[in-house]
Amino acid sequence: MAGRVLFVTIGLIYFTVSVGIPAVQVGAVLTFAGGISIVVGVPVARLSDLFGSRPVLVAAMLGQSLGTAAYVVAKNLIAYATITIVVTVCGRAAHAAKGAVMGAVLVGEERTVNRSRIRSWSNAAAVLAAGSGAWVLHVNEHWAYLVAIGCSASIFLFAAYVSALLPHTSRPERPADASRLGVLRDRPFIALTVIDALFTLQMGLLEILPLWVAEHTGAPRWMGGVLFGLNTVMVVFLQARASRGVTDLGSAGIANRRAGVLLFGACVLFGLAGQYVSLAAFLLVGAALVFVWGEMLHAAAGWELSFGLAPEGEHAQYQAMFGTGTTVGLTAAPLVSTALVLGTGTAGWVIVGAVFLCAGTATPWVVRWALQQRPGHMSPVSVG
Protein backbone atom coordinates (compact mmCIF):
# COMPACT_ATOMS: atom_id res chain seq x y z
CA MET A 1 0.00 0.00 0.00
CA ALA A 2 2.83 2.41 0.86
CA GLY A 3 4.41 1.94 -2.55
CA ARG A 4 1.15 2.74 -4.31
CA VAL A 5 0.42 5.76 -2.10
CA LEU A 6 3.88 7.21 -2.72
CA PHE A 7 3.49 6.88 -6.47
CA VAL A 8 -0.10 8.14 -6.56
CA THR A 9 0.96 11.20 -4.58
CA ILE A 10 3.52 12.29 -7.19
CA GLY A 11 2.47 10.42 -10.34
CA LEU A 12 -0.10 12.82 -11.78
CA ILE A 13 2.13 15.88 -11.33
CA TYR A 14 5.19 14.08 -12.67
CA PHE A 15 3.60 12.90 -15.90
CA THR A 16 1.61 16.05 -16.61
CA VAL A 17 4.23 18.64 -15.66
CA SER A 18 7.62 16.95 -15.92
CA VAL A 19 6.94 14.54 -18.79
CA GLY A 20 4.32 16.70 -20.52
CA ILE A 21 1.41 14.29 -21.03
CA PRO A 22 -1.94 16.18 -20.89
CA ALA A 23 -3.90 15.57 -17.69
CA VAL A 24 -7.01 14.44 -19.58
CA GLN A 25 -4.97 11.72 -21.30
CA VAL A 26 -3.45 10.60 -18.00
CA GLY A 27 -6.94 10.37 -16.51
CA ALA A 28 -8.21 8.39 -19.48
CA VAL A 29 -5.34 5.91 -19.16
CA LEU A 30 -6.00 5.42 -15.44
CA THR A 31 -9.71 4.82 -16.08
CA PHE A 32 -9.01 2.37 -18.92
CA ALA A 33 -6.44 0.46 -16.88
CA GLY A 34 -8.85 0.27 -13.95
CA GLY A 35 -11.56 -1.10 -16.22
CA ILE A 36 -9.26 -3.81 -17.57
CA SER A 37 -8.23 -4.83 -14.05
CA ILE A 38 -11.84 -5.68 -13.18
CA VAL A 39 -11.64 -8.94 -15.14
CA VAL A 40 -8.34 -10.07 -13.57
CA GLY A 41 -9.88 -11.76 -10.52
CA VAL A 42 -11.04 -15.02 -12.10
CA PRO A 43 -7.76 -15.75 -13.96
CA VAL A 44 -5.84 -15.06 -10.75
CA ALA A 45 -8.04 -17.53 -8.91
CA ARG A 46 -7.29 -20.14 -11.54
CA LEU A 47 -3.54 -19.51 -11.28
CA SER A 48 -3.77 -19.74 -7.49
CA ASP A 49 -5.48 -23.12 -7.81
CA LEU A 50 -2.70 -24.34 -10.13
CA PHE A 51 0.40 -22.93 -8.42
CA GLY A 52 -0.72 -21.74 -4.98
CA SER A 53 -1.61 -18.22 -3.87
CA ARG A 54 1.77 -17.28 -2.44
CA PRO A 55 3.74 -17.68 -5.71
CA VAL A 56 1.06 -15.69 -7.54
CA LEU A 57 1.29 -12.94 -4.91
CA VAL A 58 5.08 -12.79 -5.18
CA ALA A 59 4.95 -12.69 -8.99
CA ALA A 60 2.35 -9.92 -8.94
CA MET A 61 4.41 -7.85 -6.50
CA LEU A 62 7.49 -8.29 -8.69
CA GLY A 63 5.44 -7.16 -11.67
CA GLN A 64 4.42 -4.02 -9.79
CA SER A 65 8.03 -3.35 -8.85
CA LEU A 66 9.39 -3.76 -12.37
CA GLY A 67 6.52 -1.83 -13.91
CA THR A 68 6.90 1.07 -11.50
CA ALA A 69 10.65 1.21 -12.13
CA ALA A 70 9.94 1.33 -15.88
CA TYR A 71 8.08 4.62 -15.43
CA VAL A 72 11.42 6.44 -15.40
CA VAL A 73 11.81 5.71 -19.13
CA ALA A 74 8.18 6.49 -20.06
CA LYS A 75 8.43 9.67 -22.13
CA ASN A 76 5.24 9.46 -24.21
CA LEU A 77 1.60 8.46 -23.94
CA ILE A 78 2.00 4.98 -25.44
CA ALA A 79 4.78 4.02 -23.02
CA TYR A 80 2.91 5.49 -20.07
CA ALA A 81 -0.32 3.66 -21.01
CA THR A 82 1.43 0.32 -21.51
CA ILE A 83 3.24 0.47 -18.19
CA THR A 84 0.16 1.70 -16.34
CA ILE A 85 -1.93 -1.21 -17.61
CA VAL A 86 0.74 -3.69 -16.52
CA VAL A 87 1.14 -2.11 -13.07
CA THR A 88 -2.64 -1.85 -12.53
CA VAL A 89 -3.28 -5.45 -13.57
CA CYS A 90 -0.43 -6.68 -11.36
CA GLY A 91 -1.82 -4.63 -8.48
CA ARG A 92 -5.25 -6.17 -8.93
CA ALA A 93 -3.70 -9.65 -9.12
CA ALA A 94 -1.71 -8.99 -5.95
CA HIS A 95 -4.86 -7.86 -4.14
CA ALA A 96 -6.74 -11.01 -5.15
CA ALA A 97 -3.87 -13.35 -4.28
CA LYS A 98 -3.27 -11.58 -0.97
CA GLY A 99 -6.84 -12.30 0.07
CA ALA A 100 -6.37 -16.01 -0.60
CA VAL A 101 -3.04 -16.05 1.26
CA MET A 102 -4.60 -14.36 4.27
CA GLY A 103 -7.46 -16.84 4.17
CA ALA A 104 -4.92 -19.64 4.56
CA VAL A 105 -2.51 -17.97 7.01
CA LEU A 106 -4.93 -16.07 9.25
CA VAL A 107 -7.23 -18.62 10.85
CA GLY A 108 -9.31 -18.90 14.01
CA GLU A 109 -11.43 -16.43 15.93
CA GLU A 110 -8.70 -13.76 15.89
CA ARG A 111 -8.61 -13.68 12.09
CA THR A 112 -10.56 -10.44 11.72
CA VAL A 113 -8.67 -8.72 14.54
CA ASN A 114 -5.33 -9.71 13.02
CA ARG A 115 -6.50 -8.50 9.62
CA SER A 116 -7.46 -5.20 11.21
CA ARG A 117 -3.98 -4.86 12.69
CA ILE A 118 -2.52 -5.34 9.23
CA ARG A 119 -4.77 -2.58 7.94
CA SER A 120 -3.61 -0.29 10.74
CA TRP A 121 0.04 -0.91 9.94
CA SER A 122 -0.63 -0.41 6.24
CA ASN A 123 -2.28 2.93 6.92
CA ALA A 124 0.62 4.01 9.12
CA ALA A 125 3.03 3.20 6.30
CA ALA A 126 0.77 5.04 3.87
CA VAL A 127 0.94 8.17 6.04
CA LEU A 128 4.74 8.09 5.86
CA ALA A 129 4.59 7.50 2.11
CA ALA A 130 2.18 10.39 1.58
CA GLY A 131 4.44 12.64 3.65
CA SER A 132 7.41 11.66 1.51
CA GLY A 133 5.40 12.37 -1.62
CA ALA A 134 4.43 15.78 -0.27
CA TRP A 135 8.13 16.57 0.23
CA VAL A 136 8.83 15.58 -3.38
CA LEU A 137 6.04 17.86 -4.59
CA HIS A 138 7.52 20.67 -2.49
CA VAL A 139 10.99 20.18 -4.01
CA ASN A 140 9.42 19.88 -7.48
CA GLU A 141 12.65 18.82 -9.20
CA HIS A 142 12.92 16.13 -11.89
CA TRP A 143 15.53 14.18 -9.91
CA ALA A 144 13.25 14.12 -6.85
CA TYR A 145 10.43 12.57 -8.86
CA LEU A 146 12.80 9.90 -10.18
CA VAL A 147 13.99 9.11 -6.65
CA ALA A 148 10.37 8.77 -5.51
CA ILE A 149 9.59 6.40 -8.38
CA GLY A 150 12.64 4.34 -7.47
CA CYS A 151 11.58 4.22 -3.82
CA SER A 152 8.08 3.12 -4.81
CA ALA A 153 9.50 0.31 -6.95
CA SER A 154 11.78 -0.71 -4.07
CA ILE A 155 8.82 -0.89 -1.66
CA PHE A 156 7.03 -3.28 -4.02
CA LEU A 157 10.21 -5.34 -4.31
CA PHE A 158 10.52 -5.52 -0.53
CA ALA A 159 6.85 -6.55 -0.30
CA ALA A 160 7.54 -9.39 -2.76
CA TYR A 161 10.47 -10.51 -0.59
CA VAL A 162 8.36 -10.47 2.58
CA SER A 163 5.56 -12.33 0.79
CA ALA A 164 8.03 -15.05 -0.20
CA LEU A 165 8.86 -15.53 3.50
CA LEU A 166 5.25 -16.21 4.48
CA PRO A 167 4.51 -19.74 5.76
CA HIS A 168 4.11 -22.21 2.94
CA THR A 169 0.54 -23.26 2.38
CA SER A 170 -0.12 -26.34 0.31
CA ARG A 171 -2.38 -26.08 -2.68
CA PRO A 172 -5.94 -26.42 -1.41
CA GLU A 173 -7.63 -29.79 -1.78
CA ARG A 174 -10.82 -29.13 -3.70
CA PRO A 175 -13.90 -31.18 -2.83
CA ALA A 176 -14.68 -33.78 -5.46
CA ASP A 177 -17.96 -32.10 -6.37
CA ALA A 178 -16.55 -28.55 -6.38
CA SER A 179 -16.65 -26.53 -9.59
CA ARG A 180 -13.68 -24.51 -10.79
CA LEU A 181 -15.91 -21.44 -10.84
CA GLY A 182 -18.47 -22.48 -8.24
CA VAL A 183 -18.48 -18.95 -6.82
CA LEU A 184 -20.32 -17.76 -9.93
CA ARG A 185 -23.28 -19.94 -8.91
CA ASP A 186 -23.16 -18.85 -5.26
CA ARG A 187 -25.91 -16.23 -5.45
CA PRO A 188 -25.79 -15.14 -1.79
CA PHE A 189 -22.04 -14.52 -2.05
CA ILE A 190 -22.54 -12.60 -5.31
CA ALA A 191 -25.14 -10.48 -3.50
CA LEU A 192 -22.67 -9.75 -0.70
CA THR A 193 -20.05 -8.84 -3.30
CA VAL A 194 -22.49 -6.30 -4.77
CA ILE A 195 -23.18 -4.94 -1.28
CA ASP A 196 -19.45 -4.53 -0.68
CA ALA A 197 -19.07 -2.76 -4.04
CA LEU A 198 -21.75 -0.28 -2.95
CA PHE A 199 -19.97 0.33 0.33
CA THR A 200 -16.71 0.90 -1.53
CA LEU A 201 -18.21 4.06 -3.01
CA GLN A 202 -17.22 5.66 0.30
CA MET A 203 -13.64 5.91 -0.99
CA GLY A 204 -14.75 8.37 -3.64
CA LEU A 205 -16.29 10.56 -0.96
CA LEU A 206 -12.95 10.84 0.81
CA GLU A 207 -11.29 11.92 -2.42
CA ILE A 208 -13.73 14.76 -3.13
CA LEU A 209 -14.04 15.85 0.50
CA PRO A 210 -11.33 18.57 0.29
CA LEU A 211 -13.07 20.05 -2.76
CA TRP A 212 -16.45 19.94 -1.01
CA VAL A 213 -15.01 21.74 2.00
CA ALA A 214 -13.28 24.39 -0.11
CA GLU A 215 -16.08 25.22 -2.52
CA HIS A 216 -19.36 24.26 -0.85
CA THR A 217 -18.97 25.07 2.85
CA GLY A 218 -17.96 28.06 4.91
CA ALA A 219 -15.19 26.12 6.65
CA PRO A 220 -11.50 26.99 6.11
CA ARG A 221 -10.00 25.38 3.04
CA TRP A 222 -7.34 23.61 5.09
CA MET A 223 -10.00 21.60 6.92
CA GLY A 224 -10.23 19.23 3.97
CA GLY A 225 -6.68 18.04 4.58
CA VAL A 226 -7.25 17.90 8.34
CA LEU A 227 -10.32 15.69 7.92
CA PHE A 228 -8.46 13.35 5.57
CA GLY A 229 -5.60 13.09 8.06
CA LEU A 230 -8.03 12.51 10.93
CA ASN A 231 -9.54 9.60 9.01
CA THR A 232 -6.15 7.99 8.43
CA VAL A 233 -4.94 8.43 12.01
CA MET A 234 -8.12 6.96 13.48
CA VAL A 235 -7.86 3.91 11.23
CA VAL A 236 -4.25 3.41 12.32
CA PHE A 237 -5.06 3.47 16.04
CA LEU A 238 -8.67 2.25 16.25
CA GLN A 239 -9.23 -0.31 13.49
CA ALA A 240 -8.29 -3.25 15.71
CA ARG A 241 -10.61 -2.02 18.46
CA ALA A 242 -13.50 -1.55 16.03
CA SER A 243 -13.01 -5.11 14.80
CA ARG A 244 -13.04 -6.89 18.16
CA GLY A 245 -16.76 -7.56 18.16
CA VAL A 246 -16.71 -9.11 14.68
CA THR A 247 -15.96 -12.76 15.40
CA ASP A 248 -18.36 -14.71 13.18
CA LEU A 249 -20.71 -14.32 10.27
CA GLY A 250 -23.61 -13.18 12.40
CA SER A 251 -21.68 -10.37 14.06
CA ALA A 252 -20.25 -9.41 10.66
CA GLY A 253 -23.74 -8.96 9.25
CA ILE A 254 -24.76 -6.80 12.22
CA ALA A 255 -21.54 -4.75 11.94
CA ASN A 256 -22.25 -4.05 8.29
CA ARG A 257 -25.78 -2.94 9.16
CA ARG A 258 -24.40 -0.54 11.77
CA ALA A 259 -21.82 0.68 9.26
CA GLY A 260 -24.63 1.56 6.87
CA VAL A 261 -26.42 3.57 9.54
CA LEU A 262 -23.24 5.42 10.53
CA LEU A 263 -22.24 6.22 6.96
CA PHE A 264 -25.74 7.48 6.22
CA GLY A 265 -25.57 9.75 9.27
CA ALA A 266 -22.13 10.99 8.26
CA CYS A 267 -23.31 11.80 4.74
CA VAL A 268 -26.24 13.79 6.10
CA LEU A 269 -23.88 15.79 8.32
CA PHE A 270 -21.48 16.42 5.43
CA GLY A 271 -24.39 17.65 3.37
CA LEU A 272 -25.70 19.91 6.12
CA ALA A 273 -22.24 21.50 6.37
CA GLY A 274 -22.96 23.03 2.99
CA GLN A 275 -26.20 24.56 4.25
CA TYR A 276 -25.21 25.99 7.63
CA VAL A 277 -22.12 28.14 7.19
CA SER A 278 -21.72 29.08 10.84
CA LEU A 279 -21.81 25.43 11.93
CA ALA A 280 -19.84 24.01 9.01
CA ALA A 281 -16.63 23.27 10.89
CA PHE A 282 -18.43 21.46 13.73
CA LEU A 283 -20.62 19.49 11.31
CA LEU A 284 -17.59 18.44 9.25
CA VAL A 285 -15.63 17.20 12.25
CA GLY A 286 -18.66 15.32 13.59
CA ALA A 287 -19.31 13.81 10.18
CA ALA A 288 -15.68 12.73 9.83
CA LEU A 289 -15.73 10.95 13.21
CA VAL A 290 -18.97 9.11 12.42
CA PHE A 291 -17.78 8.32 8.89
CA VAL A 292 -14.50 6.70 9.92
CA TRP A 293 -16.20 4.49 12.52
CA GLY A 294 -18.64 3.28 9.87
CA GLU A 295 -15.73 2.73 7.51
CA MET A 296 -13.87 0.60 10.08
CA LEU A 297 -16.95 -1.49 10.91
CA HIS A 298 -17.53 -2.17 7.23
CA ALA A 299 -13.89 -3.19 6.73
CA ALA A 300 -14.08 -5.67 9.61
CA ALA A 301 -17.39 -7.07 8.37
CA GLY A 302 -16.06 -7.47 4.83
CA TRP A 303 -13.05 -9.47 5.98
CA GLU A 304 -15.14 -11.86 8.06
CA LEU A 305 -17.79 -12.36 5.36
CA SER A 306 -15.34 -12.90 2.49
CA PHE A 307 -13.26 -15.39 4.46
CA GLY A 308 -16.01 -17.05 6.48
CA LEU A 309 -18.31 -17.83 3.56
CA ALA A 310 -15.57 -19.31 1.35
CA PRO A 311 -15.66 -23.15 1.37
CA GLU A 312 -12.44 -24.93 2.26
CA GLY A 313 -10.22 -25.30 -0.77
CA GLU A 314 -11.95 -22.48 -2.67
CA HIS A 315 -10.56 -19.37 -0.98
CA ALA A 316 -8.78 -18.17 -4.12
CA GLN A 317 -11.85 -17.87 -6.34
CA TYR A 318 -14.00 -16.46 -3.52
CA GLN A 319 -11.44 -13.80 -2.60
CA ALA A 320 -11.00 -12.97 -6.27
CA MET A 321 -14.75 -12.51 -6.73
CA PHE A 322 -15.09 -10.37 -3.59
CA GLY A 323 -12.11 -8.30 -4.70
CA THR A 324 -13.72 -7.80 -8.11
CA GLY A 325 -16.65 -6.12 -6.39
CA THR A 326 -14.21 -3.84 -4.58
CA THR A 327 -12.54 -2.95 -7.87
CA VAL A 328 -15.87 -2.14 -9.50
CA GLY A 329 -16.76 0.09 -6.56
CA LEU A 330 -13.40 1.89 -6.68
CA THR A 331 -13.74 2.40 -10.43
CA ALA A 332 -17.24 3.85 -10.11
CA ALA A 333 -16.55 5.89 -6.97
CA PRO A 334 -15.01 8.99 -8.60
CA LEU A 335 -17.86 9.31 -11.11
CA VAL A 336 -20.59 8.78 -8.51
CA SER A 337 -18.99 11.21 -6.08
CA THR A 338 -18.44 14.00 -8.56
CA ALA A 339 -21.79 13.58 -10.32
CA LEU A 340 -23.96 13.26 -7.22
CA VAL A 341 -22.16 15.07 -4.43
CA LEU A 342 -20.41 17.87 -6.27
CA GLY A 343 -23.13 18.02 -8.90
CA THR A 344 -26.20 18.19 -6.66
CA GLY A 345 -24.81 19.19 -3.26
CA THR A 346 -26.62 18.22 -0.08
CA ALA A 347 -29.18 16.09 -1.92
CA GLY A 348 -26.34 14.08 -3.43
CA TRP A 349 -24.87 13.39 -0.01
CA VAL A 350 -28.25 12.13 1.21
CA ILE A 351 -28.68 9.89 -1.85
CA VAL A 352 -25.25 8.29 -1.44
CA GLY A 353 -25.89 7.89 2.28
CA ALA A 354 -29.19 6.14 1.53
CA VAL A 355 -27.28 3.67 -0.66
CA PHE A 356 -25.07 2.79 2.33
CA LEU A 357 -28.11 2.52 4.59
CA CYS A 358 -29.92 0.14 2.24
CA ALA A 359 -26.80 -1.96 1.63
CA GLY A 360 -26.14 -2.27 5.35
CA THR A 361 -29.76 -3.10 6.17
CA ALA A 362 -29.77 -5.89 3.58
CA THR A 363 -26.56 -7.53 4.82
CA PRO A 364 -27.92 -9.63 7.74
CA TRP A 365 -30.69 -11.01 5.52
CA VAL A 366 -28.21 -11.97 2.81
CA VAL A 367 -25.96 -13.60 5.42
CA ARG A 368 -28.90 -15.69 6.62
CA TRP A 369 -29.62 -16.65 3.01
CA ALA A 370 -25.98 -17.67 2.56
CA LEU A 371 -26.04 -19.81 5.69
CA GLN A 372 -29.19 -21.58 4.50
CA GLN A 373 -27.32 -22.54 1.34
CA ARG A 374 -24.48 -24.06 3.38
CA PRO A 375 -26.09 -26.57 5.76
CA GLY A 376 -23.01 -28.76 5.82
CA HIS A 377 -20.47 -25.97 5.84
CA MET A 378 -21.57 -23.52 8.51
CA SER A 379 -23.10 -23.76 11.92
CA PRO A 380 -26.13 -21.56 12.41
CA VAL A 381 -25.48 -18.16 13.97
CA SER A 382 -27.69 -15.28 14.85
CA VAL A 383 -27.64 -12.53 12.25
CA GLY A 384 -29.93 -10.12 14.01
pLDDT digits (tens, 9 = 90+) for 301-328: 998 898 888 887 777 778 778 888 888 8
For residues 160 and 220, membership in a common domain is answered with: no
Q: Is residue 382 assigned to a domain?
A: no
Instruction: Out of 40-49, 232-241, 364-373, pick the least confident.
Output: 40-49
Alpha carbons 150 and 68: distance in angstroms, whole number: 8
Give yes or no for residue 231 having a pLDDT over 50: yes
Give mean pLDDT, residues 203-207.
Answer: 82
pLDDT tens per residue, range 45-73:
777 777 777 888 899 999 999 999 999 99
**Helices vs. strands in the chain: H and E counts, helices first:** 15, 0
Residue-wise pLDDT tens digits, 130-156: 778 778 877 888 899 899 999 999 999
Q: How far apart are CA 30 and CA 28, in angstroms?
A: 5
Residue 367 has pLDDT above 90, yes or no: yes
Task: Calculate the CA dihedral of residues 101, 102, 107, 113 and round it to 10 degrees.
Answer: 170
Residues 227 and 358 in one domain: yes
Same domain, residue pair 337 and 213 = yes
The pLDDT value given to residue 379: 43
The reply to whether 177 falls in a domain is: no
Range of the domain at 333: 182-373
112-126, 198-212, 255-269, 346-360: least confidently modelled range? 112-126
For the residues 234-244, what does the mean pLDDT come to? 83
Q: Are residues 159 and 241 in the same domain?
A: no
Q: Are residues 7 and 151 in the same domain?
A: yes
Query: What is the predicted pLDDT for the residue at 115?
Result: 67
pTM of the model: 0.76
Residue pair 78/27 in contact by the 8 Å Cβ criterion: no
pLDDT value, residue 105? 65
Same structural domain for residues 335 and 244?
yes
Write the CATH number for 223.
Answer: 1.20.1250.20
Task: Assign 380 a pLDDT band (cuts: 50, 70, 90).
Answer: very low
Average pLDDT score over residue span 169-177: 54
Q: What is the pLDDT of residue 350?
A: 96
69 and 210 housed in the same domain: no
Q: What is the pLDDT of residue 1?
A: 65
Query: Taking a C-beta distance cutoff of 8 angstroms, is the pair 18, 145 a contact?
Result: yes
Which amino acid makes up residue 143?
A: W
Cβ 109 vs Cβ 247: under 8 Å: yes
For residue 222, being part of any structural domain is answered with yes
pLDDT, averaged across the chain: 83
pLDDT at 336: 84
- Does 354 lie in the same domain as 206? yes
* Residue 295 exposed, middle or buried by CB count within 10 Å (0-12, 13-18, 19+): buried
Closest CA to 313 of 106, 174, 107: 174
Q: Is the pLDDT assigned to residue 225 strictly greater than 60?
A: yes
Identify whether residues 138 and 7 lie together within a single domain: yes
**Which pLDDT does position 248 carry in this prediction?**
87
Both 149 and 207 in a single domain? no
Q: Once rounded to an integer, what is the mean pLDDT over residues 251-263?
A: 96
Query: Confidence class of residue 228 from pLDDT cuts 50, 70 and 90?
Result: confident
The mean per-residue pLDDT over the stretch 1-30 comes to 79
Q: What percent of the chain has pLDDT over 70?
A: 88
In a domain, 224, yes or no: yes
Q: Is the pLDDT of residue 171 over 70?
A: no
- Residue scoring higher pLDDT (324 or 187): 187
Query: According to the model, what pLDDT value does residue 45 have?
Result: 72
What is the number of domains present in the chain?
2
Residue 245 placed within a domain: yes
Do both 209 and 345 map to the same domain?
yes
- Using left for φ > 0, alpha for ψ between -120 and 50, and beta otherwise, residue 22 falls in beta
Question: Both 345 and 208 in a single domain?
Answer: yes
